[in-house]
Chains A and B, each alone.
Chain A
Amino acid sequence: MSEGISQPDAPVALEATESGDLFSKFDPLIKQRSDLLASGVEDPFNLVMEKVLSPTRAVCNGRDTILLGTYNYMGMTFDPDVIQAGKDALDNYGSGTTGSRVLNGTYQGHKECEEALKEFYAMDHAMVFSTGYQANLGIISTIAGKGDYIVLDIDSHASIWDGCSLGNAEIVPFRHNDIEALEKRLKRIPEGAGKLVVLEGVYSMLGDIAPLKEMIAVSKAHGAMVLVDEAHSMGFIGPNGRGVAEDQGCLDDVDFVIGTFSKSVGTVGGFCVSNHPKFEIMRLVCRPYVFTASLPPSVVATAATSIRKLMHGGNKRAHLWENSKTLHGGLTKLGFTLGTTEPQSAIVAVIMPDLQRGAAMWEALLKEGLYVNLARPPATPANMTLLRCSLCAEHSAEEVETILGMFERAGKAVGII
């Protein structure tokens, strides 16, 4: 689950209407949006960052703002080495590749980026896509074909659902993080059918992690292959920052790890790493890899540099955990209801009583000078309204205290605490 502003991650078909205007199916949404804005709140989904001062500071809608909703977990976006690598690549390789990875779009930099990923994960193969969305779209739709079964968590990210929609496999969801529900479904799949289990390390709505060790054991016992999306854990969770599967000691049993450069790595792009001996054939058969242009040289250069630096990010990881614990503990003490009882990741989700007060709280925080993510139904599990905070290793301990003060004032003003 994720950034779906006004729609759930699992796709829904909107009914056709008879007016002839293909846009009339969006009328209910247009009305809902204009009603919210008419109530006077600042548009939560039209924020402009006029200046970006650092990974944790920007000028938003004219205000100096602390950023607490960017997924820039490791604060690599302004790292001097990363920026220099990007500038050098711009100078030496130009602004873009103007081509697919399989034609003229594979430069030295793309290869180096894949080498960095192989080293980072200690895996045999790495394939870089133009986004994480396309990595899920491509790998899932390609490896699970007609007659195969994909068993996935109901709270999966939109890119996973869309990968399912793009392919021809049978789709079987199970209740979020429910090991027994997963096992029951695996048991009932017809003998001989191919099975792919799709899980995430960290679920970004509530910031909770999956019991991967148990789920992967169950999957393997039933002969399934396992894909884990570690978008929100890379660089931060696990002894080497390889993610939740590494942390739980089961990375060796994961067949495919999907990740993104748009969070800890601090740029844009996506990837899949794997030890499957035939993995390289994906480059020829995976349509979202073949039929689109490759990432610009500057992007893969910044990504490769950032990934290599993340291998030695132990101190930053420790500080990020401190930040997560301080924010989680402080908000709990103030009386807010959070998505998890313990901090499990760098995401802290604050549960709002309803959309109206959630939007008011979001706006009050913005006026205090704090940006968080507003997530609302129907994009959220159980139709909750959430203020999602994602911490950065570059938030100082003092900044986290400042943030808690902002939450206290805003929460009291809106009447939530």
Chain B
Amino acid sequence: MRAMERAEVDQRIRALIEPFNKKGVEIFEATTFAGDLEFDSLTVMDFVAAIEDEFDIIISMNQQAEIETWGQLIDAVCKLADD
């Protein structure tokens, strides 16, 4: 797979998060999923599934545990999509 631009990944995931971001919280690199976005476990599962389907990757719970912020998510997806 061609190396995916970080900006492109960011943009595609921004489109995916829309239906889950019910309060329309503005998203920055440091925005957290548990704190700022108040995602519960079911929301996390559905959001992760949407990303996995979009990029045809697996993000295991072990990997999710390392991801707290938006920026970390984009980095992780860039890396996984490149592998």
Contacts and interface: CB of A to CB of B under 8 A. Distances in A.
A188 B61 contact: no
A8 B41 contact: yes
Interface of A: prevailing SS: mixed
Contacts of B41: 8, 10, 12, 154
B45 A185 contact: no
A175 B45 CA distance: 8
B37 to A, nearest CB: 16
A185 B49 CA distance: 9
Given A171-B61, A172-B58, A188-B57, A154 B52 contact: no
Contacts of A378: 40
A289 interface: no
B45 A154 contact: yes
B61 A172 contact: yes
Nearest to A165: B61
A190 to B, nearest CB: 8
Interface of B: prevailing SS: helix
B42 interface: yes
A197 to B, nearest CB: 14
Interface string B29-65: 0000000000011100110010011001110111100
Nearest to A12: B41
Contact of A188 (B56, B62, B63): B56
A3 interface: no
A276 interface: no
A170 B60 contact: yes
Contact of B45 (A12, A149, A170, A173): A173
Contacts of A154: 41-42, 45
Contacts of A381: 42
A221 interface: no
A413 to B, nearest CB: 33
Interface of B: 40-42, 45-46, 49, 52-53, 56-58, 60-63
